[in-house]
Chain A
Amino acid sequence: MSDVEQLRPQIAQAAAHGHAGLARGLAARLWHSTPTLAAAGFLGKTLPGSPAAEAWPKRRVFVLRSFTVEPVIPALIAEGLAAGVIFDVTVGDFNAYTQELLDPGSRLYAADPDVAILAVQTRDIAPELWAGTRAGPAAHAAAVDRVTAELTTLVDTFRSRTARPLVLHGLDLPVQTADGIGDSQRATGQVNAVREINRRLVEIAAGRPDVYVLDYDRLVARHGSDRWYDERLWASARLPLNTGLMPALAGEWARFLFATGPALAKVLVCDLDNTLWGGVIGEDGLEGILLGDNEETCPYLRTQRAILDLYDRGIILAICSKNNPDDALQALERHERMLLRPHHFAAMRMNWNDKPANLAEIAAEISVGRDTLVFLDDNPVEREHVMQHAPEVRVLDLPDDVQRFADVVRRFPLFERLRLTAEDRERGAMYAQQRCRDELQRSATSVEDYYRSLRMRMQIRTVVPETLARASQLTQKTNQFNMTTRRYTEAEIAAFAAAASHRVWTVQVADRFGDNGIVGLLIVEAGPEEWRIDTLLMSCRVIGRTVETAMLAWLAAQARAAGASRLVGDFIPTKKNAPAADTFAGHGFAPGGESGSATRWVFPLNHGTIQFPEWIELIDCEARPA
């Protein structure tokens, strides 16, 4: 199986026979072992449109550019396929990014892509800072102002026309300077002028919703500018980089494309023996397993540190290991050098069952789709087995060399997150609290008794700039309790919030075990007669605690107080939102017609009320229910 020569026919076969897991896993192996233009072309002609890739998510991308990028596009598509994602790429005209961004009728706006990338480089946009022209401090300072003003205009124009995410290339530091090492002695030198532009670009991006900076100079530096640039291809084809480094640029673009849509991967499921430590706990015992005292020298500790960093980024952790649970727990709880402890894991399957079955249970236990699981296991046989029998689960392609495990974990592109919300940072702790709630529920005598004992407190607030990112994230990630599953970017939510016609509220819930953070969102079109619910969603974290009843009761009271006579909501069924299907009917809404698969529900505010649950305390809201 590991023979690269044999991978192509195997991929073609998996593609044709609809084996999604195998096709994705083998594609990743081919692409990571031989990232050539031919391999990229092979994957691009074999997987998209095949039965295996039928259900793979798609991202439509528009690349605005100042230089030739066409040979990078097959590599970009291959990066997507290796992760089970189909990139549909359009490239803007050569060096026409200014017109394309400014002209409202351009191909860019007609294409309305999911993401746009603006690929510019120093030699095109600021030639006086690239070549050693002895332009002097005044000219350098002028170039800094000109470039930042130019890019600000372009970014703002894009933002005013569309709410789609924009990825902005930072500029690359010049390789040669007119003044040699003297250049770096001055803040106004060529090099520091480019640094100043990059610093301002970060400010431009951070100050606008869904605009992100790709640190192009750092990418070049990681591979070395002497290797990166290809003057022969630049002179003949306006292609600045070496063929061998195109996958590096494609990979960096792919990270942004994965990170700007709904989260594709949420959970890392870890094996234990020979993955988190060396040896087998059941045989070698607590003293026998291998865990050095130093992260610099112990590859297993480095892997654990990489996993802990993902945990701090909001990635949920779980364990799936063939072990006696007592042996495994002993190592997790008692081994003094372990960095990862039981409280870091949202679910644990330490048993002798089949791993695909365990993975399905883990997904169910933490209420996420199986397709958001990522499987980490040193054993190639287990990996192959999971690819075959749990085709939705992504499998990390670990090398034999344990020294490289940490790197593979850190570089997995689907765990990239562009903006971390407070909820992301706290997610791990929240899952630990959830385990305590589950225990309380088991000991409660009735469901009302359980609700009361939780001592829930709810806060409903109009969205503010600080909560925009979380509000957008909830629309992107919430699949189960989501009435309409409308995905919105930060900019789109901001537009609703600014519109006189709409209201946007975030819902925060806390209980005796801790603060769940913002777990609900309401977007309402508030007409004089009718309040129409555009979005009503709730994180799976608080499903089954009557939070939706509280939200609807509060909303109905608001609508009535504003003089409206009815509250209207749509339910648009998806593959995943069955848990929300009966919500409107269950709260006294009457059927109000159907259109396609969507059903409309109407609540007459003059004739009925929705009882606010007595066990939830409404605190510090802008308005209280009547």
Chain B
Amino acid sequence: MNVSPDDLVARLIEVAADVFGVPPTALTAESSSETVEAWDSISHLNLMLAVEQACGVRIEPEQMVELTSIGRIAAAVRNMPSP
């Protein structure tokens, strides 16, 4: 992805806030499935699909299970080729 690390995290926080139905201020780069109540296995799938859509990337199923924090998603997306 061709964006600065901070911009990407901000963008992911916005997407995650929409998926989880919370205000963006409730999330940080450290937010994870452990700390966010609405982040369960169902909303995790929704989040992965929303991130794919918002960032124009493709996340492989094996990778999806590991991306359980905003920071980890940002790190993974940064290394993905833009389409």
Instruction: Give the docked Cα–Cα distance between A236 and B60 (Å).
Output: 9
A-B contact pairs, 23 of them (CB 8 A): A36-B53, A36-B54, A37-B19, A37-B49, A37-B50, A38-B15, A38-B50, A41-B17, A41-B18, A41-B19, A42-B18, A44-B21, A45-B18, A45-B21, A45-B22, A68-B45, A71-B45, A74-B19, A74-B46, A235-B61, A236-B61, A236-B64, A243-B53
Of A39, A42, A70, the contact of B46 (CB 8 Å cutoff): A70
List residues of B whose CB falls within 8 A of some A CB: 14-15, 17-22, 42, 45-46, 49-50, 52-54, 61, 64
Residues of A within 8 A of B42 (CB): 70
Contact-residue size bin, chain A (C-beta under 8 Å from the other chain)? 20 to 34
Residue-wise, chain A 225-258 has the 8 Å CB interface mask toward B (1 for contact) of 0000000100111010001100000000000000
Of A38, A237, A243, the contact of B14 (CB 8 Å cutoff): A38
Q: Look across to chain B and name the residue whose beta carbon is closest to the beta carbon of A37.
A: B50
Q: Which residues of A14-48 have CB atoms within 8 Å of chain B's CB atoms?
A: 36-42, 44-45
Instruction: Give the docked Cα–Cα distance between A312 and B55 (Å).
Output: 46
Instruction: Give the docked Cα–Cα distance between A68 and B15 (Å).
Output: 21
Contact A243 B49 (CB under 8 A): yes
Of B22, B45, B53, the contact of A237 (CB 8 Å cutoff): B45
10 shortest interchain CB distances as A-B pairs: A41-B18, A236-B61, A37-B50, A45-B21, A38-B18, A42-B18, A243-B49, A41-B19, A70-B42, A38-B15
Q: Look across to chain A and name the residue whose beta carbon is closest to the beta carbon of B54.
A: A38
Contact B61 A39 (CB under 8 A): no
Known: A70-B42, A236-B64, A237-B61. A39 touches B49 (CB 8 A): no
List residues of A whose CB falls within 8 A of some B CB: 36-42, 44-45, 68, 70-71, 74, 232, 235-237, 239, 243-244
Name the residue among A41, A68, A70, A239 with the largest chain B CB count within 10 angstroms: A41
Contact B45 A38 (CB under 8 A): no
Name the residue among A37, A71, A237 with the largest chain B CB count within 10 angstroms: A37
Residues of A within 8 A of B53 (CB): 36-38, 243-244
Q: Look across to chain A and name the residue whose beta carbon is closest to the beta carbon of B49.
A: A243
Instruction: Give the docked Cα–Cα distance between A239 and B15 (Å).
Output: 21
Residues of B within 8 A of A70 (CB): 42, 45-46
Name the residue among B14, B45, B54 with the largest chain A CB count within 10 angstroms: B45
Of A41, A44, A243, the contact of B52 (CB 8 Å cutoff): A243
Contact B45 A232 (CB under 8 A): no
Q: Look across to chain A and name the residue whose beta carbon is closest to the beta carbon of B46.
A: A71
Known: A70-B45, A71-B49, A239-B45. A38 touches B19 (CB 8 A): yes
B24 to chain A, nearest CB (A): 10
